[in-house]
Structure 1
Amino acid sequence: MPEGALEIDRVSKRYGDVVALDEMSLTVHGGEMLGFVGSNGAGKTTTMRIALGVLAADSGEVRYDGAPVDRTTRSRIGYMPEERGLYPKMKVSEQLQYLGELHGLPRADAVRSANRWTERLGLAERREDQLQKLSLGNQQRVQLAAALVHDPSVLILDEPFSGLDPVAVEVMSTVLREMRDQGVPVVFSSHQLELVQRLCDRVGIVRRGSMVADGTVEELRSSGPTRLTVHAPEAPADWAEGLPGVTVESRENGRTALRLDDTADDQRVLRAALATGPVHEFSRERPSLTELFRDVVTEETDE
């Protein structure tokens, strides 16, 4: 498979007075998985639909492998919408074959691909069932098969893990890793941030239609606020109050959780703790992706 990059370059979209996207930019390279996260209404689905050509952008450009995305390029994109979009009364095998042919596969190739993906995703025994007779989790697997049946060069998935049990999550995670390892740019949105942190090479956090943070999980965690846990059992309750750049977040059983901004000196914090007596723990923690996301949402609410 090709290893071109999918680029969304300063894309904007308005609906009357409502700004859905404000110069949204992101790049997903071949062989890379990007997690696209943000609160509801932040612009994730709109971005994906513009990349697919379902919506037209007011300005900006979508490119694949350096060239503007056109109808031919879009036929090479595998897309999994958040809303199930398949035919409920159609048999699983028939609609996967049909979708493969719509993407340009010869019928025999579409049949082989449909059989391969139903086998791979644990649906072989349900091929002749109508979609509506499957559980919601299995319907989600069929949606993934529909996105993969034409051997796509780009994979875009909107909340692919929604409603899946742990076994199905692991199956889907493995398939997405395999596609990435074959050189496919993979981008998916999700509210399951622990899963995003575990799977993705990079994460983009979107707020109010713009990308506000983009980088590897480690880069984003390193850029977030530093937290310290200090266990000083003999320290008074207010021992850390007034230290420059330090915010006391909680205190329980002699353990104090502190948040440090860029001006804080952790060695000064340590000296202040030692001045109260023995210090049994002094540990630095980096924020999780969930904490970073919460900070972004809080900032949005404050604004």
Structure 2
Amino acid sequence: MTDYSVEATGLSKDFGGFKAVDGVSLQVPSGSIYGVLGPNGAGKTTSLRMTLGIIDPDAGQSRLLGGHAPRAVRHRIGYLPEERGLYPGMKAREAIAFMGALRGLDWREGRRRAAAFMGELGLERVVDEKIRKMSKGMAQMIQLIGSIVHAPDLIVLDEPFSGLDPVNQERLEMLVRRERDRGATILFSTHVMAHAERLCDRIAIIARSQRRFEGSVDDARALLPMQVRYTPRGDADAPAIAALLPAGAERRGDAWYFPVDDTAIEPLLARITASGFGVAGLSIARPGLHDAFVHIVRQVDAAFDADATSDAVEEAAA
């Protein structure tokens, strides 16, 4: 046994000459919530499908739940694909039980668990409603419950928040935490940073078909300097304040905004205190995961564009 529920190494996949995934590796600690983040088309879905053995990689390998080949432990996995699909004529309870039965769960136990899950989530009013009568978001919640009704050890969710309203997003977050507390490992993909920031123990960021970052949410946020919002007292002299603050400080209304390195915070506070301008307001905060994500992806895009320009120049010169 290992400390990782997912160990994917060097996964690569080409589709018609397009490198969809290029050497992606993932190590997901057991009992954790792990997010795979990236822009649309970055390679997240293909990486997850190779990890689960749904499609074969051109290179690399994946081992799950203690070092097993993915297909050998498929009954211990719950998977919500990006493409949603339920039988429209089935009632919600039966649809959930049916999905559980496909993974070896007794039908009657599946129906009992379906009702329990739906009651816990406040969905008991639709337990016997047919899928065709449900909204897209509600049907998605039913499929999600069906993906975990058999109490899997590993839960893989591909863009699970897409199409859900805020109420159902909150229900899904509660469900993810509940399953983690039960002992399951959750691996999900998303391009919405707020969910990852609230839920994830660790994240990987994929951009341009490669993994560009791996670590905790705090590790990602630490890639950017602190952001300061400072408001002096009274009608302070703007040029004098600008000279006091770091280069590039921007005034918006009465406040000034600027980044500052961790080591420069205390000297900055000492200068402000000694200046006599006073402090009507002051906040110092680390940028959020959204800012870190944009920073990483823009760096990758800039490097890609620079390489493309260099190649074009070389071809023209030849």
**TM-score (norm. length: structure 2):** 0.82
**Match of 1:284?**
284
Q: Looking at both structures, which has the greater relative contact order when contacts are Cα pairs under 8 Å and sequence separation is at least 6?
A: 1
Written as runs of structure 1 = structure 2, the 5 A alignment for 1:154-303 is 154-232=154-232, 234-237=236-239, 240=242, 248=248, 250-260=250-260, 265-266=264-265, 269=268, 277-280=276-279, 281=281, 283-303=283-303
User: CA–CA distance in 1 between the matches of 2:71 and 2:142?
Assistant: 24
SS of 1:96 mapped into structure 2: helix
User: CA–CA distance in 1 between the matches of 2:168 and 2:200?
Assistant: 18
Contact 2:52 2:71 in 1 (8 A): no
Contact 2:10 2:59 in 1 (8 A): yes
Letter paired with 2:124: A
SS of 2:188 mapped into structure 1: strand
Contact 1:114 1:145 in 2 (8 A): yes
Contact 1:226 1:259 in 2 (8 A): yes
Contact 1:36 1:204 in 2 (8 A): yes
**Match of 2:312?**
none
Written as runs of structure 1 = structure 2, the 5 A alignment for 1:38-187 is 38-187=38-187
User: CA–CA distance in 2 between the matches of 1:214 and 1:16?
Assistant: 29
The two structures, once aligned, show a CA RMSD in angstroms of 2.8
SS of 2:167 mapped into structure 1: helix
- Alpha-carbon distance, 1:300 to partner: 3.2
Q: 1:220 to 1:125 in 2, by over 3 A?
A: same
User: CA–CA distance in 1 between the matches of 2:83 and 2:152?
Assistant: 20
- Alpha-carbon distance, 1:216 to partner: 2.1
SS of 2:212 mapped into structure 1: strand
User: CA–CA distance in 1 between the matches of 2:254 and 2:273?
Assistant: 13
- Alpha-carbon distance, 1:47 to partner: 1.3
Comparing 58-67 and 172-181, the one that deviates more? 58-67
User: CA–CA distance in 2 between the matches of 1:222 and 1:128?
Assistant: 48
SS of 2:160 mapped into structure 1: coil
Letter paired with 1:40: N
Question: As a proportion of its length, which structure holds more helix?
Answer: 2
- Alpha-carbon distance, 1:168 to partner: 1.9
Deviations 1:206-231 (A, max 9, x none): 21222222222223222322322333
User: CA–CA distance in 2 between the matches of 1:216 and 1:25?
Assistant: 16
Contact 2:242 2:249 in 1 (8 A): no
Comparing 144-153 and 2-11, the one that deviates more? 2-11
SS of 2:248 mapped into structure 1: strand
SS of 1:75 mapped into structure 2: helix
User: CA–CA distance in 1 between the matches of 2:265 and 2:150?
Assistant: 54
- Alpha-carbon distance, 1:157 to partner: 0.8
- Alpha-carbon distance, 1:100 to partner: 1.6
Deviations 1:209-254 (A, max 9, x none): 22222222223222322322333453434865798xx552631234
User: CA–CA distance in 2 between the matches of 1:224 and 1:86?
Assistant: 43
Q: 1:258 to 1:77 in 2, by over 3 A?
A: same
Comparing 192-201 and 253-262, the one that deviates more? 253-262
Comparing 5-14 and 110-119, the one that deviates more? 110-119
User: CA–CA distance in 2 between the matches of 1:125 and 1:230?
Assistant: 51
- Alpha-carbon distance, 1:147 to partner: 0.7
Contact 2:65 2:73 in 1 (8 A): no
- Alpha-carbon distance, 1:302 to partner: 2.4
Letter paired with 1:109: E
SS of 2:238 mapped into structure 1: coil
User: CA–CA distance in 1 between the matches of 2:297 and 2:271?
Assistant: 33
User: CA–CA distance in 1 between the matches of 2:51 and 2:298?
Assistant: 29
- Alpha-carbon distance, 1:41 to partner: 0.9
Deviations 1:246-268 (A, max 9, x none): 55263123422112468x84456
**Match of 1:19?**
19
Letter paired with 1:287: P
Letter paired with 2:236: E
Over the matched positions of the two proteins, sequence identity in percent amounts to 35
- Alpha-carbon distance, 1:172 to partner: 1.6
**TM-score (norm. length: structure 1):** 0.86
